Chain A
Amino acid sequence: MRREENVAATQGIEFARLSLREALDLAIAIEEEARDRYREFAEQLTAHHTAEAARFFEHMARIEEIHRSQLAERREALFPGERPQPMRERIFDVEAPEYDAARAFMSVREALEAALSGEEKAYAFFVRAIPLLESTEVRKLFGELRDEEVEHQDLVRAEIARLAGEPGGRDEAYSDDPVAQ
């Protein structure tokens, strides 16, 4: 089910004809989108007095920026000075958690679960895209990126397991139902 959602989350990308340069541009755009989403979440949660989860999302934003810059360096080494293809406008929430994953007063555990959903979506995206690719080198790149998503998932899952004993339910965070003021 998730895989199909992810195919729908791109527009106008012909995977069969994707060149290595375009594939790198796409991968960079995916990391950039995730970075920006985590930054937005951090800002939202800071504004809504949810400091711990905000710090976690800031941390995630830094990680995504590291991934983005590593890919950008690799691209520059392979295709020095070549203008990037505009890929950002063609993707929708590939690795970025969806907007409704954030909530005021969410716990760090819930924030981790939001991040895990992003990593799972990205993994499903690469799994689905690989059979559509014709270029061997793009397949290799996407295979590499898919495997990295598995590593990221394992890291997030380990952290969730570490926090298993801590409270995390959204309902627990509310002392009362919202009321008119």
Chain B
Amino acid sequence: MIPELGHYALVLALGLALVQASVPLYGARTNDPVLMSVAGPTALAQFGFVAIAFGALVACYVTSDFSVVNVFENSHSAKPLIYKITGVWGNHEGSMMLWVLILSVFGALVALFGANLPARLKANVLAVQSWIASTFYLFILLTSNPFLRLSPAPLEGRDLNPILQDPGLAIHPPLLYLGYVGLSISFSFAIAALIEGRIDAAWARWVRPWTLLAWMFLTLGIAMGSYWAYYTLGWGGWWFWDPVENASLMPWIAGTALLHSAVVMEKREALKVWTILLAILAFSLSLIGTFLVRSGVLTSVHAFASDPMRGVFILMILILFIGGGLALFALRAPVLKQGGLFAPVSREGALVLNNLFLVSACAAVFYGTLYPLALEAVTGSKISVGAPFFNATFGPLFLPLLIAAPFGPLLAWKRGDLLGVAQRLLGAATLAVIVIAVTFAAEGGGPILVPFAFGLAAFVITGAVTDLIERTALLKVSPRIAFARARGLPRSTWGTALAHLGLGVTLLGIVGETQLGAERIAEIKPGQSISLRHYDLHFDGLANREGPNYRELVGTFTVSRNGEPIGVMQPSKRSFPSRGTATSEQALMTRGAGQLYLALGEPNPDGSVAVRLYHKPLVLLIWLGAVVMVIGGGLSLSDRRLRVGAPRPAKSQAAMQPAE
């Protein structure tokens, strides 16, 4: 009964979506307020029905109803409750349900918080949003229905892929989808603007918070996925340039570019056409990401789906939205009026430069990810594109961004003074040079790039701090006044500084992990020790342990540093009888911003076991930087001028508002 209820709710959601996709659009054309106002309630009702459908699927999983094919294939009655729930989106059908659930959440949010949007814009936005929703409901109902029954019902399920039985699955896909799908709002706004043929600074003010929100989720989702891969996959890498990772990185880069260009559009009414194009591209890349992962076009660690019917359907969705969006853009963009002149050296100019390099870096990822597929489809010859290619192309295109990041926020709008900004960054540059010199001296003849990488990280971090020091005049006035000025600074200024700071922190982590890390591979018996740098790990022994739906072999290692015991590390090997598969659980010990990472190999007949021990200095900064970026985004989002759906002027100007 419950699966049928969910199925039916999904069909009703499709019906509602079709109404919402057409009626408000017609209303906007004929200027009929009644027809336009249909959009709001249908968006809310759509959310209601999708929530019922999703809830029904969750209920099937929680009660282990194996008469439902999807539950039978991906669940097990002995699985802990949390993995029963997260298992809902650990497979193709369920993850598409999560996709549409989040899509309907965003639609409902626009309906709820878009009260001050112009009626026509709101109607068009929600209609476009519903086009997307309709195609995805159809996709689920026709090719990926999670509510199909199985008769007779099996007694036990096949269980979820053990590698996915991890808290990471509870957090990573929802965050990533919130990001992917959140970009659909920017897309809908862009298409709505093209339909109306009108766009202004107010439009950018409405779009920017949504983009920012999606960007924050995407940032967290990618960082979370990276950390998950780091601690799960057992060889200590945190980014593999895997096509599935690239699929999430591309919308992130495009979204970052969109955020920056929307600033120019909001403040200066320039770059309108470009911002619209970026909004279309960012969501297109999200769709391509979904396509890459879901169509089975690549079979990688992440991909579980492979069915040509699905692939063709998703390809049609891609052609419809990307092709349609770009065609509409080509048709209508010339109508949009450009405004806002600026000199090449100005804040606008810096943001244009940022966009140019971000888009090029995004193109490097795009080419590297899709070129092998295209080449194989066209000529049949197979090539591999992996990390060495991306390091050689993405790196050089991203480097100028890092160097320029501290300059941008310090430049004035319209016409900037590059020399003046360079002078203000003298402190940051000096510190960078000191870092280079010190690391160079300490390294004594290693690769020349390492000191410069550290210097660059120091420059990006102190550059972001310099921006705040300059704006609060910390070094020029008394601390009390500086504090008052700091409080008076717009939150979006803090947001920018923190986001750039986070970038520097991530860079520092990357450089630290890749350049300073050390490893030890050894075969040891109980009673022996393995040491790396000043850490000694004494192997106490192996023991068997029983988990809820697995058995594990646990190694116990006592860790001491310079002879002082500091803790115990327990890596293990788990075997899951229901699937006949095994996973390894690595042991991590955090030391400051670095970590000790211990992975257990297969035990040998003579009682010895192969272990891999890594020391990864500064590694946590990689993800900490992402968190700092997201906090920056959150501060910016809470800025009065940008609050979601509330772009009203302030009642009074703050007394301490500094010049920007």
A binds B: no
Residues of B within 8 A of A (CB): none
